[in-house]
């Protein structure tokens, strides 16, 4: 697979949730975003918590401090889970889903889609490593792409911003790889 073909086959996903990832609580997605590297399109949805989630699942105030979304805001401005799931599935289409934290995103997508098994999510980091190649040159390209993404689109722990950050890192890495890793056109 050539670097030019990679972005045409993937969608980058990020979720924000009611609890921090990996804290062992029963959490639910509160915001999801998806981005298409091929077009630069990003969609983001706030998710209105379902009654069962509010009654039986966990809400962690540390997570609220990170993403700055309250339950009250989600109840007032979020869309119903089924609508978000339908629109997100249509946006994903037949693309492979990748993320910076596949175990958490796979779990939250399964909750969103009402499925028992985690949604299949690939590791964006593995894709970036494959594009950059190994050794010091690959590490240098990754560092340059990451620095560019931090400058252009810093992470904010809001799904749309974080997808934009990941997409810019991927596209910058592809640009660097096409130019031999230096960031400048070959002489």
Tokens 């949805």 correspond to: 45
Tokens 């918590």 correspond to: 49
Q: How far apart are CA 13 and CA 50, in angstroms?
A: 21
The Cβ-side half-sphere exposure at 30, using a 13 Å CA radius, reads 30
Q: Do the strands 96-99 and 10-17 form a parallel or antiparallel pair, or are they unpaired?
A: parallel
Quick one: pLDDT at residue 37? 94
Q: How far apart are CA 35 and CA 53, in angstroms?
A: 27
Q: How far apart are CA 95 and CA 32, in angstroms?
A: 17
Q: Please state which architecture CATH assigns to domain 6-178.
A: 2-Layer Sandwich (3.30)
Quick one: pLDDT at residue 23? 63
Quick one: pLDDT at residue 180? 75
- Domain extent listing, the chain: 6-178
Q: Do residues 28 and 51 lie in contact, with contact meaning Cβ atoms separated by under 8 Å?
A: no
Find all residues with CB under 8 Å of 122, minimum gap 6, and list them.
Answer: 10, 96, 97, 98, 99, 102
Averaged pLDDT, groups of 10, the chain, 187 residues long: 63 94 80 95 97 92 91 97 97 96 95 91 94 91 96 95 97 90 43
In degrees, to the nearest 5, what angle opens at C-alpha 1 toward C-alphas 109 and 41?
Answer: 45
CA proximity to 59, closest of 28, 86, 15, 96: 28
Quick one: pLDDT at residue 7? 63
Quick one: pLDDT at residue 184? 41
């Amino acid at each position: 697979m050539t670097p030019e073909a990679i972005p045409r086959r993937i969608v980058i996903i990020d979720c924000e949730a009611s609890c921090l990832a990996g804290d062992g609580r029963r959490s639910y997605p509160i915001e999801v975003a998806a981005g298409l590297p091929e077009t630069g399109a990003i969609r983001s949805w706030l998710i209105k918590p379902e009654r069962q989630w509010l009654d039986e699942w966990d809400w962690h105030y540390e997570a609220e401090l990170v993403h700055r979304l309250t339950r009250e805001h989600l109840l007032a401005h979020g869309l119903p889970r089924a609508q978000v799931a339908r629109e997100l599935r249509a946006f994903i289409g037949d693309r492979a889903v990748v993320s910076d934290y596949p175990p958490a995103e796979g779990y939250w997508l399964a909750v969103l889609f009402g499925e028992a098994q985690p949604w299949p999510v690939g590791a964006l980091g593995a894709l970036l490593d494959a594009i950059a190649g190994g050794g010091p040159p690959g590490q240098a390209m990754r560092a340059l792409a990451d620095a560019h993404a931090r400058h252009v689109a810093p992470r904010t722990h809001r799904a749309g911003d974080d997808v934009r950050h990941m997409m810019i890192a991927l596209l910058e890495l592809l640009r660097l790889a096409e130019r031999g890793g230096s960031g400048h056109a070959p002489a």
